[in-house]
Amino acid sequence: MTERQIQTYLWENRDRWDELIEEITFPEKYSFDESEEAIYERTPDKVLFNEIVDRYSKLYENLFGLRLFGCEVPLKKDGDSTIRADLLGLVDGVSGIAIVEIKKSSQTERQAFTELFAYASHLQAIFPTMTDDDVHYVLISPMQERIVREASILSFLFDEKPVFAFIPTYENDNVDTIRLKPWIPVIDEIIKISESAFSQKNFEIFKVTWEEIQGWNPSKNKNPDEHMAERMNRISSYAAQLMESKRIHGFVFTSQGYPELPFLNNAIIVAGLNPFKVAKDNYLISEHKIRPHKLESIGDEEINLTQIIPELLKRAKEVNEEGDFFYELVTTWDDNLIRIAFNTVEVMTTNDKNLSFERGWGGMTWKEYQGVLLEDGLCFNYDMKATGLVRKLFVSYTIEDYKYMAKFGTEKHPYLGHGDVPDFMVDYLNEQTYFRDFLYNIFESYKDIYEEFDEDLDGDEKSDQDSL
């Protein structure tokens, strides 16, 4: 049986598409409010698993209503493109166009995402202003390759481009017996992703400061008034919009140094997850079995780009052995944060008086930043604005917190035991204290436990680390 035969069969039987989908029961979601102790079992991977199950189940129900209207549709009108949409369709009651890509073997399924996203770009050129939600990605594939499974999960978590995958099943290689079995990620695959992504050391920080402006800053021995705080919060809101548009997963806030200090006291702090550091950690966890709390001991300069992309060895081995390309990628990524920070200050201080303001700037990791008293302690910190996956995870955690508190109160909550919690989430989500507690709880708390009780590296791990 060939991919073309599968495509032809699905097209010719498009009126009974819903009959070809297997009925399944989705895995049970994790509960964090079954008992007072259940909240201690909550981890990022379990929260993300719940998120994926929710979204997958909704997509699954919607896809029963897929109505196909196109078969073998080329990327260009003249038909000379090698990229074609296997099938196109609409989903009943849901905005947008569904792209269906068919791959029969593990050898060809690696190409699936390239073709899906290339065709999506083509559709967005035809229909300008389409949103991510206006394109539905459906992959029919064996899902045997790890890179394909991980790409599907990452499309849900990081890119807001959910790819729903069906595994084709059939008897005796007979296309007439084909059925489409939904593929559901397993928790172990999500654990690897969350362990590599969620570390405070992977958050790059860039801070821009500018001088005090009349009416913007409090006088000595005074606190900022409400209008001053609102203005600084509007600045971070603008920056957060830029970050979301560029799919930067992180957070942003503004601060003002104590007026008694002789510094440039207005500041914006932009933080984002460095994707190259995340890739490095994912490689070390997956290939060398390095435990997450030991990742920090391995420097970025110790990793070669060919370890992350081994396909480079085929024709560019010597070039990559001589160059520090991976280290350069890691160290230059914060250019994205730099541009956002400077653009925000430039726009927000635009005025009709031809005034210009002295600036300062610098960068470090979030973990380092929190340890510098002059940077993070002697100042008024304003609202936190989370972006991307960090925002989604913070909201999910907070919803679970409120569900838990509604049942059991705060006394036994791992970081809200103080009881000083607003009645409504609207007063919670932008508060510095709650957001920092959340960050520490998901990124670092378990590492402290490991480091307290962990012995030196065992033989296997030491061997793996030495082999880098």
pLDDT at 71: 96
pLDDT at 363: 95
pLDDT at 355: 94
pLDDT digits (tens, 9 = 90+) for 430-447: 999 999 999 888 876 555
pLDDT at 451: 52
pLDDT at 445: 56
pLDDT at 359: 97
pLDDT at 449: 47
pTM (whole model) above 0.75: yes
Pairing mode, strands 84-91 and 66-74: antiparallel
pLDDT at 78: 53
pLDDT digits (tens, 9 = 90+) for 182-202: 999 888 878 877 877 777 889
Buried b (16+ CB within 10 A) or exposed e, 136-157: bbbbbbbbebeebbbbbbbbbb
pLDDT digits (tens, 9 = 90+) for 261-287: 999 999 999 999 999 999 999 899 888
Nearest in space to 442 (alpha carbons), one of 127, 200, 208: 200
Cα distances (angstroms) measured from residue 361 to each of 31, 38, 169, 358: 44, 44, 57, 11
Per DSSP, the three-state class of 90 is strand
CB 104 within 8 A of CB 175: no
Ordered mean pLDDT values, 10 residues apiece, the chain (468 residues): 94 97 93 95 91 92 97 72 86 95 89 90 92 93 90 83 91 94 88 77 94 94 96 98 96 97 96 94 88 86 92 89 91 97 98 95 93 94 96 96 97 93 97 94 61 51 57
The whole-angstrom separation of Cα 233 and Cα 174 is 62
